[in-house]
Structure 1
């Protein structure tokens, strides 16, 4: 048995905190104003109707309704369909 630690073992042991990215509300799900729909790095999804993009590229609802995923000019877009529309 070794009496001392291996040479690099004390230089290990770091890890980064989880980012919790991804889709939070799926197509057809009900959302209220301010609900986060997608947390992302970069514009994987683009905002559509009744949806805005935050400083960190988070897509969130600005109206109450149902989430709708669709393609618009080749871009994956997210909209919120209100009951009136």
Structure 2
């Protein structure tokens, strides 16, 4: 039988609600404002650049193709 006088811990629920509200506000700002659209473009560029660098590094490591040449090829594949 449960103790009716023992307090239940709702910390996880409160943290989850706070994270959800924060994420919702952040996504709303990114998608509903002009400044957010600029940040989305910057984030997209950085992600594509990171993927291209990672792919070029992997190609350089696994083949005889130099990283500079592989970078040109991966940039052509991952267009802006």
Instruction: Give the TM bin, normalised by the shorter chain.
Output: under 0.3
For CA contacts below 8 A with separation 6 or more, give which structure has more relative contact order.
1
Name the one with the larger strand percent: 1
Name the one with the larger helix percent: 2
